[in-house]
């Protein structure tokens, strides 16, 4: 069964200089798309990936990452809508490339579907009340 | 029929007034017809909740010991400059004001994270705000420096005074140029990648009273979560525009200047706002009650999004160059569908004005009236109408020659 998931990987400083992603792709037959990367020598590294492949390969890949010491988060947690600041205007819906922000045609409320969010952050600055927050 | 405001107020006081929102009236008229609905309904409530840049507030901060003459000096609230050209301790803060050290658009598009609108929101939320003043010193006001925390509750007066709000209709903004632009109508993607609009449409106060037959100077309103009043027509009030057969303006037309005590307002309805690459502003909640004095007035309140048309304007070239051409007209019904057809291309739409917010305001105002907490007012004077002969003038520049 094929699977595609977006994950956030935190690399402790000791792993930053190792070819972890190379092993992940080569040994586990996974396809990856890098959505965001921040790697500085001797500091914690951050990688946001879309990982696709066979379910078994995916699970083995994730186990490999966990075993070597990479901390894994699923992505939805990383863009958070501050509900108290959101005015429900809808300026974000034309900026969001994945449809994670969309208007409910009936209530005209702006829905945030975290499972569709790729944490691209395109919504963050165009949001007039700045309700979309990046949490890592 | 032919009720008066006094009669409606009597019913409100007795808890007998029939109040519906500008959305609910649409169905009611479709079911019962205009005549019956006009007989049954006493008040229709409207609402709008969107960024409104010509907003601001004035404060009397009280006299320090020794005294300081802020007037003619410099005053900052959380680093945002306030206007000081008044008597000793009166200052005015505009929603669009930004700190002197804000990088603005030096790296374009600037984020404009914090400005006057945000200060107003923080004050209304009850948070302490830093007041920093430098003055020149006089015999009666010797002090030259002042740095202190202030809080809304300690100020003598704190009054929201917005010189242009609640625009009766507005442009739909698109961008025909080849690069993304950052405007007061939001981020506009190239090659008409999106179309942004900003009106509460069928809920908008002045679109429900298109000829200003009930809304006038002195009208009591919902303002920022509290009670306010229409102070005057807003700046750029321009009633004599193209209208539909039923009288609804097809262009930006009337506007309101509104005033109210900031101390009884709420940060839920006064939200500091940042327009990427453009500047700071304040998202303001306004609701206006419309007394149903006649069938004609009721008919106006039954207007729906499908019957309100807005001009589509290119903000890539036409708007900045002030050329008058528009790309066409589109109804709010179509805009709210999420997609419009423009020059053969499907263009996704987005609203800057909050429709759910407008609905909530109209419902809150309805509740206040039903509970007898909010009485209607007779306008002291009407707003200038179509017959007033107002023209919206551009600036005629006259070069200043040397020796003039």
pLDDT of amino acid A76: 55
Record the pTM: 0.89
| Domain annotation for chain A: domains and CATH numbers | 2-74 (3.30.70.260), 78-135 (3.30.70.20)
pLDDT, position B198: 98
Nearest CA among B163, B234, B169, B237 for reference residue B204: B169
List residues bridging with B197 in a β-sheet: B351
Q: How many CA atoms lie within 13 A of A93 on its CB side?
A: 26
pLDDT, residue A3, reads 84
Q: Is the dihedral of CA B171, B172, B178, B179 positive or negative?
A: positive
pLDDT for the residue numbered B265: 98
Query: Do strands B279-287 and B270-275 pair parallel, antiparallel, or not at all (unpaired)?
Result: antiparallel
- Residue B140 catalytic? yes
Tokens matching residue B312: 């589509």
**Above 0.85 for ipTM, yes or no?**
yes
Of the candidates B61, B196, B350, which has an alpha carbon nearest to the alpha carbon of residue B71? B61
Mutate to test the interface with B, among A87, A96, A98, A121 (most CBs of B within 10 A): A87
Tokens 């003039």 -> residue: B404
pLDDT digits (tens, 9 = 90+) for A26-46: 999 999 988 888 888 778 888
Interface test with B, best of A82, A84, A85, A89 (most B CBs within 10 A): A89
- Which chain B residue shows the shortest CA-CA distance from A90? B351
Alpha helices, DSSP H only, in B272-392? 295-301, 332-336, 355-370
Instruction: Select from A120, A119, A136, A3 the least CA-distant residue to A61.
Output: A3
DSSP A71: E
Q: Which residues of chain B have pLDDT under 50?
A: none
pLDDT of residue B157: 98
Per annotation, catalytic residue among B106, B107, B139, B140: B140
In angstroms, the separation between the Cα of residue B276 and the nearest Cα of chain A is 6
Query: Pairing relation of β-strands B279-287 and B181-183?
Result: unpaired
pLDDT confidence of residue B1: 55
What does the pLDDT profile of chain A (136 residues) look like in tens digits? 788 888 888 898 888 788 999 999 999 999 998 888 888 877 888 888 888 899 999 999 999 999 999 998 877 558 999 999 999 999 999 999 999 999 999 999 999 998 888 888 999 999 999 999 998 6
């Amino acid at each position: 069964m094929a699977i595609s998931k977006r994950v956030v990987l935190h690399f402790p400083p000791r792993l930053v200089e190792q070819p972890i992603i190379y092993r992940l792709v080569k040994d586990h037959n996974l396809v990856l798309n890098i959505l965001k990367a921040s790697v500085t020598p001797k500091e914690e590294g951050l990688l946001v990936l879309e990982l696709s492949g066979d379910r078994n390969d995916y699970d083995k890949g994730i186990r490999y990452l966990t075993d070597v010491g990479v901390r894994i988060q699923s992505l939805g947690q990383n863009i958070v809508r501050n509900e108290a600041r959101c005015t429900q205007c809808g300026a974000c819906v034309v900026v969001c490339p994945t449809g994670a922000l969309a208007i409910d045609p009936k209530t005209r409320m702006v829905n945030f579907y975290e499972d569709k969010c790729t944490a691209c952050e395109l919504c963050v600055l165009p949001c007039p009340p700045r309700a979309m927050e990046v949490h890592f | 029929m032919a009720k008066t405001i006094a009669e409606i107020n009597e019913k409100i006081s007795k808890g007998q007034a029939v109040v519906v929102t500008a959305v609910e009236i649409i169905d009611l008229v479709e079911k019962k017809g205009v005549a019956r609905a006009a007989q049954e309904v006493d008040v229709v409530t409207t609402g709008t909740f969107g960024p409104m840049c010509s907003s601001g507030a004035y404060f009397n901060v009280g006299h320090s010991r020794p005294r300081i003459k802020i007037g003619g000096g410099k005053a900052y609230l959380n680093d945002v400059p306030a206007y000081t050209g008044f008597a000793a301790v009166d200052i005015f803060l505009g929603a669009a004001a930004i700190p002197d050290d804000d990088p603005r658009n030096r790296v374009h598009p600037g984020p404009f994270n914090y400005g006057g609108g945000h200060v107003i929101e923080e004050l209304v939320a009850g948070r302490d705000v830093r007041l920093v003043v430098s003055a020149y010193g006089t015999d009666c006001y010797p002090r030259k420096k002042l740095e202190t925390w202030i809080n809304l509750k300690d100020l003598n007066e704190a009054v929201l005074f917005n010189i242009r709000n609640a625009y009766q209709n507005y442009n739909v903004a698109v961008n025909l140029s080849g690069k993304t632009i950052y405007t007061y109508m939001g981020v506009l993607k190239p090659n008409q990648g999106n179309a942004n609009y900003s009106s509460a449409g069928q809920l908008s106060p002045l679109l429900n009273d298109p000829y200003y037959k009930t809304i006038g100077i002195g009208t009591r309103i919902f303002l920022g979560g509290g009670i306010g009043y229409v102070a005057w027509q807003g700046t750029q009030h321009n009633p004599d525009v193209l209208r539909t057969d039923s009288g609804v303006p097809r262009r930006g037309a009337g506007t309101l200047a509104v005033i109210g005590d900031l101390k009884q307002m709420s940060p839920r309805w006064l939200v500091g706002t940042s327009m990427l690459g453009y500047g700071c502003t304040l998202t303001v909640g306004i609701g206006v009650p419309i007394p149903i004095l006649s069938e004609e007035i009721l008919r106006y309140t039954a207007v729906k999004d499908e019957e309100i048309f807005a001009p589509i304007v290119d903000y890539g070239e036409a708007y900045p160059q002030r050329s008058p051409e528009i790309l066409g007209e589109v109804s709010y019904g179509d805009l709210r569908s999420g997609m419009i057809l423009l020059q053969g291309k499907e263009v996704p739409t987005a609203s800057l004005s909050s429709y759910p917010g407008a609905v909530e305001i109209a419902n809150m105002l309805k509740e206040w009236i039903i509970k007898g907490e909010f009485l209607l007012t007779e306008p002291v004077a009407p707003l200038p109408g179509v017959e007033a002969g107002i023209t919206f003038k551009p600036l005629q520049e006259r070069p200043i020659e040397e020796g003039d």
